[in-house]
Amino acid sequence: MEMKVIAHIKSDFPTKFGIPHQSGRIKELKAEIVFEPEYQVAEAFRGIEEYTHLWLIWEFSQAVRKDWSPTVRPPRLGGNTRKGVFATRSPFRPNPIGLSSVKLEGMEFTSQGPVLHVSGADLMDGTPIYDIKPYLAYVDSHPEASGGFTDQIQDHKLKVDFPAGLLEQVPKEKRAALLAVLANDPRPGYQKDPDREYGMSFGNQDIHFKVDGELLRVIRIDNEKKLAKSRIFS
């Protein structure tokens, strides 16, 4: 069976670094879903405005490999502990398929056809989307469910020190989302060096910061986006 790409997402993450581990964690993140010409048909969206949330089925387009491994090392476990690939949400899978729940903020018809405005997405800019389905709380929500090893991981937020002079360089409409992303600790789980400088591309800017304990301090912003292969600097 050949799966067809029906749309691509437009988000503020041109690279994987900094993307939230799961969808819905950062509600301030806004994104747009733009459809391929074949699917720019108004009838295909009839009734979608009746739902508040949607499921996105998409491809880990930056994690496609010829081979697969039965075990992976989740970053949130420090990168040393192995778990079965089917017991994780690792992007390195036999079929690199992702599943995300997002909030539908609205829909409009533009020169690019129908565009869905969503929030809470955990997708890199340009990610191909294979399908969209309504989220149905009465069957999709299971508050009593066990979260496996993720139940043992303390969920914490960093305190963010973002100097006013630097924050003013960030477009006003993107500040809340950027602050939330930084507070969510965008570093790999195994990186704890307080002297290490990190660079995260967000929108059209590169945000450079250091983390010491529970404090993240922004040290500079490059306003011309530099998509370096490594986002960690010595």
Query: Any idea what the CATH number is for the domain that residue 70 is in?
Result: 2.40.30.70
Residue 153: pLDDT band (50, 70, 90) is low
Q: How far out from the chain centre does Cα 129 lie? A: 14
Note whether 117 and 221 are same-domain residues: no
Structural domains counted in the chain: 2
Among residues 34, 8, 11, the alpha carbon closest in space to that of 177 is found at: 11
> Computed from CA positions of residues 58, 63, 68, 69, in that sequence, does the dihedral angle turn out positive or negative?
negative
- Please check whether residue 23 is in contact with residue 55, taking contact to mean a CB–CB distance below 8 angstroms: no
pTM listed for this prediction: 0.89
Select the more confidently predicted residue: 179 or 230: 179
Q: Looking at residue 231, what is its pLDDT?
A: 47
Among residues 24, 58, 30, the alpha carbon closest in space to that of 184 is found at: 24
Query: Any idea what the CATH number is for the domain that residue 217 is in?
Result: 3.30.2310.20
Among residues 136, 120, 128, 125, the alpha carbon closest in space to that of 96 is found at: 128
Name the residue range of residue 198's domain: 159-233
Note whether 19 and 121 are same-domain residues: yes
